[in-house]
Amino acid sequence: MRRKKRQGFGHRKPHRKVRIKRTEFERQTALMRRELRRKRWIRRLSLCLLGLLLLCTAASAEVERMRLPQVTMGDAVPGTIHGQGAEEEYEHIVPLSALFSDGQGNPMIFTVFPQHNRFGESYTVLGLPVEILAMDEEHAALSSGMGGSLVLSSDRPLISEIEVMVTNETEAG
């Protein structure tokens, strides 16, 4: 014999959904509203993804710039070298920070070459051997100015033909 389950306090019978017959116009209107909501949601999601893509692109460009050696660029200028009680005038003076050393200990300088590409301007350095005519505590006199912009200082050791980030341009003197 089957017993009826007693329903205690708070138990209700499941509510039946009553289907209301809709007219064809109401059905079409409901479908159009649902489709419009779906299209708005897709548009918002697309805009969010586009914003995220632009943000990631900008961040990756900034990270790439941070990876490059940062250099100060300038030109050799005429000036005076103070040596053992005498002062001599030279045509090409650079700070000592502009002098680098190749693998054998020979002095060299780096010249900066701008390159134009579709993302803007980038800079490449080229190492050139140099003859030092005279030096004091702060500056060195070179045999020639090498005909271009020089690296006056760098935050890292440089090698020839690498891309660098120019932080500012100054005069050597």
In this predicted model, what pLDDT tens digit does every residue of 20-66 receive, in sequence order? Answer: 677 888 889 999 999 999 999 999 999 999 999 999 888 887 777 67
Taking the alpha carbons at both ends of the chain, their separation in whole angstroms is 110
> Contact, 92 vs 130, CB < 8 A?
no
Residue 4: which pLDDT band, with cuts at 50, 70 and 90? Answer: low
93, 105, 101: which is closest to 138 by C-alpha?
A: 93
pTM above 0.75, yes or no: no
Residue bearing the bigger pLDDT, 38 or 7: 38
The H or E element containing residue 41 is helix 24-67
Residue with tokens 């912009």: 149
Residue-level pLDDT at 10: 58
Token pair in block for residue 86: 């005498």
Most confident among 41-55, 112-126, 129-143 (mean pLDDT):
41-55
Architecture of domain 68-171: Beta Barrel (2.40)
Provide the residue ranges of all domains of the chain, joining segments of one domain with +.
19-67, 68-171
